[in-house]
């Protein structure tokens, strides 16, 4: 095997990771450095490595929150089968810009703690071996230019600001007592490596302090106010921040949470030409005459559209442009799920294009005929996700997972100026859509026991949002309809993961739950369980095969049977929605209903397996008949 194929560029991440793990403002651990991903102002959109993703409904939802956005673009992707690492190659420099952060470094030999601005550390680079890039302490008394490491502690606040830990102020306790030329060192006074065993000492004035003094609610009140620093944008917030800093550990999971919007791409029309125009809208949106279409035909840019006449293509472009202008003329709160629901429920075969969208209806399992109205197999689906911001400290709740809900104002920006584009990714896959019987749902919701449980969930919902400082805590309560559908989705996902061949973290859910309010907003009660992959082929049918009539009925029965007992019973079954705002779930835990973060659309909240089956604690809430 050619060894060059085994070479991996330093800091190389997948495009999906730039959306959900290492997006704008996130910290990335390189072999010998820690860096932060820069804002969109510094990204270079090379057409060779980036392309525009067309999905009009999602773009409209993004524009509702970020008014100046005109398009969604994929992160830079360099496909290099030879593992090219030559710095003379143009592709070597394609990627996402980053900056060193934190700026404070520690010398592991002499324990010196100082910022890069002190000029005590120099950057040692090697273009041909980028993984060896590091900072070195030039005048270390204990060793010859040893490699230094980033400081372990940072400072952040709930507004998304991030800063170096205030080491000098912390050691001296007050700004007034800071000595003229502080020189800091950090020592380990115990073997544990915990904060209580770390001591920061000023060699100039001999003052010292244990790091444990920085943690805890009472100690936090003694820390300085947040400066509003935004290192990914290389600036400070214009408005003064009213929060006190909170110490966090470098690499902690609460350093960065993405705020993203996603949609299942559905065809805009049954007209094949309109579908092809939508696929190539990034190029066709600037077409204003038949001559331009003729030019694109001669250059080979029409692809599948080349089999149609210029006049028919131009007519479809004008129709799509009018539809886009009509959708964008009134900026209203986006509703991404209702159009998807209508397409799945109607499952018009004329909308199938074979590549990005293909539905096939099958008969519901006879054993589930009392509560399932229909089952639709999504043999081909395309999901598009756009990053619109991020938060720190707290993920912020379901408001960020549901695009039709308002995004909290604490969401940190992606750019210094209003962005005209946002990073996005698209994946293709397959899924199973299950529509529940609406009359059966309504009858269950009217039960006395269900209404009492609904009141408990609503109280926990308000307390949970209030404890996180979310305004109008009573808003966006999904109700017991959502709790039932969400719990059923998790139970079925766990069962399908055992048989379909995909890891549980690769299976996702999309819950369609709402009460009818207007003609445009129908009652929805259904779930879509799907899996997706970032390559062009998508997934291979392992999940769809389990949606066939006989197979699905068996898995539903096993999922409901598993919901009756939990390894953590009776504690799990006795758990009720928290009255203190700690949790928003009832009988659910990691042993029975909880799913991976990538699978659940609501952070494992609003779950209760007592709605699925009789438990050792409650036997009057179940929606389903006895097996």
Residue 234's alpha-carbon distances to 69, 100, 229, 231, 416, in angstroms, are: 22, 11, 8, 5, 9
Crossing angle for the helix pair 438-445 and 479-497, to the nearest 10 degrees: 120
Q: In angstroms, rounded to a whole number, what is the distance separating the alpha carbons of residues 314 and 267? A: 19
Residue 419 in any domain: the answer is no
pLDDT score at 402: 47
**Same domain as 60, residue 141:** no
pLDDT score at 353: 76
Q: Is 506 helix (H, G, I), strand (E, B) or coil?
A: helix
Q: In angstroms, rounded to a whole number, what is the distance separating the alpha carbons of residues 200 and 170? A: 9
Residues 6+ apart with CB under 8 A from 118: none
CB 480 within 8 A of CB 457: yes
**Same domain as 445, residue 346:** yes
Q: In angstroms, rounded to a whole number, what is the distance separating the alpha carbons of residues 344 and 266? A: 9
**Same domain as 431, residue 365:** yes
pLDDT in tens, 266-279: 876 555 676 677 66
Q: Is 299 helix (H, G, I), strand (E, B) or coil?
A: helix
Number of domains the chain contains = 4
pLDDT score at 500: 82
Boundary of a domain, candidates 101, 120, 141: 101
Other C-beta atoms lying within 10 Å of the C-beta of residue 340:
22
The average pLDDT across 230-259 equals 91
Characterize the bridge pairing of strands 358-362 and 372-391: antiparallel
Which residue from 54, 47, 50 is spatially nearest to 71, judged by alpha carbons?
Answer: 54
pLDDT in tens, 538-583: 566 688 999 999 899 999 999 999 999 999 999 999 999 988 878 8
Residue 598 in any domain: the answer is yes
Residue 165 pLDDT grade (very low, low, confident, very high; cuts 50, 70, 90): very high
**Same domain as 572, residue 510:** yes
What's phi and psi for 147, nearest 5 deg?
A: -70, 140
pLDDT in tens, 510-535: 999 998 766 667 899 999 999 887 65
Residue 45 pLDDT grade (very low, low, confident, very high; cuts 50, 70, 90): confident
| Residue 105 confidence (pLDDT) above 90 | yes
Residue 246 in any domain: the answer is no
Which residue from 36, 17, 28 is spatially nearest to 75, judged by alpha carbons?
Answer: 17
Characterize the bridge pairing of strands 104-106 and 524-533: unpaired
Residues 6+ apart with CB under 8 A from 618: 573, 587, 610
Q: In angstroms, rounded to a whole number, what is the distance separating the alpha carbons of residues 365 and 550? A: 6
Residue 381 in any domain: the answer is yes
Residue 580's alpha-carbon distances to 456, 461, 467, 583, 589, in angstroms, are: 12, 10, 9, 8, 18
Q: In angstroms, rounded to a whole number, what is the distance separating the alpha carbons of residues 490 and 591? A: 12
**Same domain as 79, residue 112:** no
Q: In angstroms, rounded to a whole number, what is the distance separating the alpha carbons of residues 604 and 602? A: 6
Q: In angstroms, rounded to a whole number, what is the distance separating the alpha carbons of residues 211 and 167? A: 10
CB 37 within 8 A of CB 111: no
Q: In angstroms, rounded to a whole number, what is the distance separating the alpha carbons of residues 149 and 146? A: 10
Q: In angstroms, rounded to a whole number, what is the distance separating the alpha carbons of residues 267 and 281? A: 13
Other C-beta atoms lying within 10 Å of the C-beta of residue 611:
25
Q: Which range, of 195-209, 280-294, 336-350, averages the lowest pLDDT?
A: 280-294
SS3 content of the chain, % helix, strand, coil (to 5): 30, 20, 45
| Residue 536 confidence (pLDDT) above 50 | no
**Same domain as 459, residue 478:** yes
**Same domain as 604, residue 481:** yes
Other C-beta atoms lying within 10 Å of the C-beta of residue 266:
19
pLDDT score at 404: 44
| DSSP-assigned beta bridge partners for residue 164 | 154
Residue 238 in any domain: the answer is no
Domain that holds residue 513: 337-408+424-611
Residue 605 in any domain: the answer is yes
**Same domain as 436, residue 356:** yes
Characterize the bridge pairing of strands 71-73 and 98-100: unpaired
The average pLDDT across 54-75 equals 87
| Residue 89 confidence (pLDDT) above 70 | no
Residues 6+ apart with CB under 8 A from 281: 54, 56, 320
The average pLDDT across 45-60 equals 84
Which residue from 256, 337, 323 is spatially nearest to 285, judged by alpha carbons?
Answer: 323
Residue 279 in any domain: the answer is yes
pLDDT score at 540: 64
Residues 6+ apart with CB under 8 A from 267: 274, 275, 278, 343, 351, 353, 357
Residue 398 pLDDT grade (very low, low, confident, very high; cuts 50, 70, 90): very low
Boundary of a domain, candidates 101, 131, 161: 101
**Same domain as 345, residue 317:** no
Residue 37 in any domain: the answer is yes
Q: Return mean pLDDT, the chain.
A: 84
Residues 6+ apart with CB under 8 A from 61: 261, 263, 334, 336, 403
**Same domain as 440, residue 308:** no
| Residue 380 confidence (pLDDT) above 80 | yes
Which residue from 372, 376, 378, 401 is spatially nearest to 557, judged by alpha carbons?
Answer: 372
Q: In angstroms, rounded to a whole number, what is the distance separating the alpha carbons of residues 260 and 24? A: 12
Residue 282 pLDDT grade (very low, low, confident, very high; cuts 50, 70, 90): low
**Same domain as 140, residue 283:** no
pLDDT score at 75: 87
Residue 326 pLDDT grade (very low, low, confident, very high; cuts 50, 70, 90): low
Q: Who has greater pLDDT, 188 or 190?
A: 188
| Residue 621 confidence (pLDDT) above 70 | yes
**Same domain as 20, residue 141:** no
Boundary of a domain, candidates 101, 135, 161: 101
Looking up tokens 């408990």 gives 456
């Amino acid at each position: 095997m050619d060894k060059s194929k085994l070479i991996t560029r330093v800091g190389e991440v997948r495009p999906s990771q730039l959306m959900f793990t290492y997006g704008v403002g996130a910290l990335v651990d390189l072999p010998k450095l820690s860096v932060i991903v820069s804002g969109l102002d510094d990204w270079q959109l090379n057409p060779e490595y980036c392309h525009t993703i067309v999905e009009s409904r999602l773009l409209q939802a993004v524009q509702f929150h970020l008014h100046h956005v005109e398009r969604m673009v994929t992160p830079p992707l360099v496909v290099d089968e030879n593992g090219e690492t030559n710095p003379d190659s143009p592709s070597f420099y394609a990627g996402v810009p980053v900056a060193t952060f934190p700026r404070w470094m520690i010398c592991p030999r002499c324990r010196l703690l100082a910022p890069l601005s002190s000029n005590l550390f120099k950057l040692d680079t090697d273009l041909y071996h980028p993984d060896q890039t590091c900072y070195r302490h030039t005048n270390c008394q204990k060793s010859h230019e040893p490699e230094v490491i980033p400081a372990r502690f940072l400072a952040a606040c709930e507004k998304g600001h991030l800063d170096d830990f205030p080491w000098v102020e912390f050691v001296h306790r007050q700004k007034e007592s800071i000595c003229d030329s502080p020189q800091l060192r950090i020592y380990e006074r115990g073997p544990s490596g915990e904060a209580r065993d770390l001591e920061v000492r000023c060699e100039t004035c001999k003052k010292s302090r244990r790091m444990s003094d920085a943690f805890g609610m009472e100690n936090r009140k003694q820390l300085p106010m947040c400066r509003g620093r935004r290192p990914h944008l290389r600036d400070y917030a214009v408005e003064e921040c009213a929060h006190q800093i909170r110490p966090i550990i470098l690499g902690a999971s609460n350093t960065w949470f993405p705020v993203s919007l996603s949609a299942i791409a559905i065809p805009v029309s049954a007209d094949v030409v309109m579908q092809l125009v939508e696929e190539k809208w990034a190029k066709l949106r600037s077409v204003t005459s038949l001559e331009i279409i003729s030019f694109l035909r001669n250059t080979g840019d029409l692809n599948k559209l080349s089999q149609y006449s210029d006049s028919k293509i131009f007519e479809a472009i004008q129709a799509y442009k009018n539809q886009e202008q009509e959708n964008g003329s009134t900026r209203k709160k986006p509703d991404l799920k209702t159009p998807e629901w209508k397409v799945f429920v109607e499952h018009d075969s004329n909308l199938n294009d074979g590549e990005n969208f293909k539905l096939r209806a099958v008969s519901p399992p006879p054993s589930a005929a009392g509560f399932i109205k229909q089952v639709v197999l999504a043999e081909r689906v395309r999901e598009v996700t756009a990053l619109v911001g991020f938060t720190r400290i707290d993920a912020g709740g379901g408001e960020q997972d549901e695009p039709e809900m308002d995004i909290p104002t604490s969401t940190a920006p992606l750019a210094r100026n209003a962005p005209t584009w946002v990073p996005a990714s698209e994946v293709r896959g397959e899924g199973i859509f299950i529509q529940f019987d609406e009359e059966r749902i309504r009858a269950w919701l009217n039960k006395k026991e269900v209404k009492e449980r609904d009141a408990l969930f609503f109280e926990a919902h308000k307390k949970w949002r209030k404890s996180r400082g979310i305004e109008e805590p009573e808003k966006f309560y999904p109700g017991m309809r959502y709790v039932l559908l969400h719990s059923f989705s998790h139970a079925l996902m766990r069962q399908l993961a055992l048989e379909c061949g995909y890891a549980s973290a690769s299976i996702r859910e999309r819950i369609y739950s709402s009460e009818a309010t207007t003609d445009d907003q129908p009652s929805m009660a259904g779930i879509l369980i799907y899996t997706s992959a970032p390559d062009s082929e998508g997934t291979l049918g392992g999940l769809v095969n389990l949606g066939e009539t006989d197979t699905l009925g068996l898995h539903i029965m096993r999922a409901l049977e598993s919901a009756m007992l939990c390894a953590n019973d009776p504690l799990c079954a006795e758990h009720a929605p928290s009255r203190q705002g700690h949790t928003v779930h009832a009988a659910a835990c990691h042993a029975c209903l909880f799913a991976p973060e990538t699978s659940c659309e609501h952070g494992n909240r609003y779950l209760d397996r007592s709605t699925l089956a009789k438990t050792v604690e409650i036997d009057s809430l179940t929606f389903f008949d006895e097996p």
